[in-house]
């Protein structure tokens, strides 16, 4: 899943597979990448916890799909699809370290630079638990095939 500069569509998984449900975006992107032969014009990227990297990989694309764990006051395991303009971020960052960046601040920067494609969609999955551990909650694990199917349907 190296950076390719050819495709118009990029699907990005974010999160940490060693922080339990935070890793759901990365798990989904690997499952999608395993089906990449069905989507020859789509790039699938595991950016892990490197949120700042989003700025670069969306530049020049026509369509972006981001997949991440997200607190949304929903039942654990719920996946929602939304655009940037449908939500406001509640994430508090202390500003003491750039390691704690909020994805929305990066997307806002990208938008202000006129680099963010208008067709940018976020899929977020409500976690049961975000804590150290390499296993996701059953509520999320059992729905992984459903998450993948739904995003693939979006790509077809």
- Per CB under 8 A, residues contacting other proteins are 1-3, 14-19, 22, 46-53, 55-57, 59, 68-73, 82, 86-105, 108-109, 112-113, 122, 124, 127, 130-134
**At 147, is the secondary structure helix, strand, or coil?**
helix
- Smallest distance, Å, CB 156 to other proteins? 25
Q: Which of 140, 117, 146, 138 has the alpha carbon at shortest distance from 12? A: 117
- CA 50 remoteness from chain centre: 11
Select 114 or 156, whichever has its Cβ closest to other proteins. 114
Q: Running DSSP on this structure, what letter comes out for residue 141? A: H
Q: Torsion over CA of 105, 119, 146 and 18, rounded to 10 degrees? A: -30
Select 15 or 42, whichever has its Cβ closest to other proteins. 15
Select 79 or 156, whichever has its Cβ closest to other proteins. 79
Element (H, E) at 45: strand 42-48
Select 77 or 127, whichever has its Cβ closest to other proteins. 127
- Smallest distance, Å, CB 133 to other proteins? 8
Element (H, E) at 112: helix 103-112
Pull the structure tokens for residue 28. Answer: 């989904």
- Smallest distance, Å, CB 88 to other proteins? 5
- Smallest distance, Å, CB 139 to other proteins? 16
């Amino acid at each position: 899943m190296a950076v390719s500069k050819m495709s118009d569509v990029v699907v990005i998984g974010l999160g940490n597979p060693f922080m339990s449900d935070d890793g759901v975006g990365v798990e989904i992107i690997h499952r999608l990448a395993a089906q990449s032969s069905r989507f020859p014009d789509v790039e699938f990227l595991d950016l892990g916890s490197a949120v700042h990297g989003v700025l670069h990989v969306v530049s020049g694309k026509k369509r972006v799909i981001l997949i991440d764990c997200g607190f949304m006051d929903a039942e654990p395991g719920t996946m929602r699809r939304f655009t940037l303009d449908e939500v406001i971020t509640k994430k508090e960052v202390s500003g003491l370290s750039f390691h704690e960046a909020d994805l929305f601040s990066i997307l806002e920067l990208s938008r202000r630079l006129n680099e963010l494609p208008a067709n940018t969609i976020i899929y977020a999955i409500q976690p049961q638990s975000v804590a150290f551990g390499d296993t996701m909650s059953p509520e999320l694990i059992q729905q992984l095939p459903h998450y993948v199917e739904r995003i693939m349907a979006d790509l077809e």
